[in-house]
Chains A and B, each alone.
Chain A
Amino acid sequence: DTAVSQTPKYLVTQMGNDKSIKCEQNLGHDTMYWYKQDSKKFLKIMFSYNNKELIINETVPNRFSPKSPDKAHLNLHINSLELGDSAVYFCASSQVETSDEQFFGPGTRLTVL
C-alpha cells in the first residue's frame, strides 16, 4: 500500500508547455506539501495545504499553481515551462500542519528541453 503516490514518475517536455503532476495520500493526513529538489540536491518547500486550504506559499513563480480537490490530493500545475524548472518534485503529507514528521512521495523527475 503506497502511502504517498505521485504520477508521473518521469516527465520530459518542451519549453513553453503546460504540465501537471498529481499527488495522492492514503494516510488520512490533513496537510500536504510540494517540494522542489534541484540539481544541487537542495530540497525546498514550495506550497503547503491544510484541509484544502493554502497555508504556505513560498517565493514561487505564479506559473506554478497547486490545486487541492480534496484533502487526499494535491496536484501541481505548471504553465509555460522553463529550463530552470527541471528538477525533482516531491509531494509530502503530515497528520497535522505543525507536524515535523512528513511522509514523502517517490518524486517526479521533470526535464524541460
Chain B
Amino acid sequence: LAKTTQPISMDSYEGQEVNITCSHNNIATNDYITWYQQFPSQGPRFIIQGYKTKVTNEVASLFIPADRKSSTLSLPRVSLSDTAVYYCLVGRGSNYKLTFGKGTLLTVNP
C-alpha cells in the first residue's frame, strides 16, 4: 500500500477555499486516491475518490496531476462545521482494506 504524507494541521476562516495536499510518491498504477472526513466522536465519512485529473462532487473537488504522486482536496467556502480530520488514502484491489494515516486536522475559525 502506498504511503501518504499530509500536513498535520491547517487553519482557515469561514468562507475561504481550503486546499489540502497529500503526497503519495510510490502510488501504483492501479491505485485510486480516496479522501475521508472524520468529525470528533464520529466514524469517518467518504468524501471523494479519483484516479487522475479532476473529480468534483457536491462536497469537494479532487485534483490529481499527471504523475499522480500527489493530490489536492479542495473544499470551497468552508464553514465552521467543516472542522474535522481529513484523511488521504491510496490503494485499491480485492480484499481491499482502508489504511488511514494521521490525517490533517482542519480548523475553521469564525
Q: Which applies to chain B's interface (DSSP): helix, strand, loop or mixed? A: loop
Report the bound CA distance from A36 to B34 in whole Å. Answer: 20
For chain B, the count of residues having a C-beta within 8 Å of the partner chain is 24
A41 with B49: CB separation less than 8 A: no
Interface size class of A (residues with CB under 8 A): 20 to 34
| Interface segment out of the listed A14-22, A61-69, A70-78, A98-106 | A98-106
Contact of B89 among A42, A90, A100 (CB under 8 A): A100
Report the bound CA distance from A94 to B45 in whole Å.
Answer: 12
Q: Of B19-27, B75-83, B92-100, which binds chain A? A: B92-100
Q: Give bound CA distance, A90 to B32, whole Å.
A: 23
CB contact list, A1-48 vs B, under 8 A:
4, 33, 35, 41-45, 48
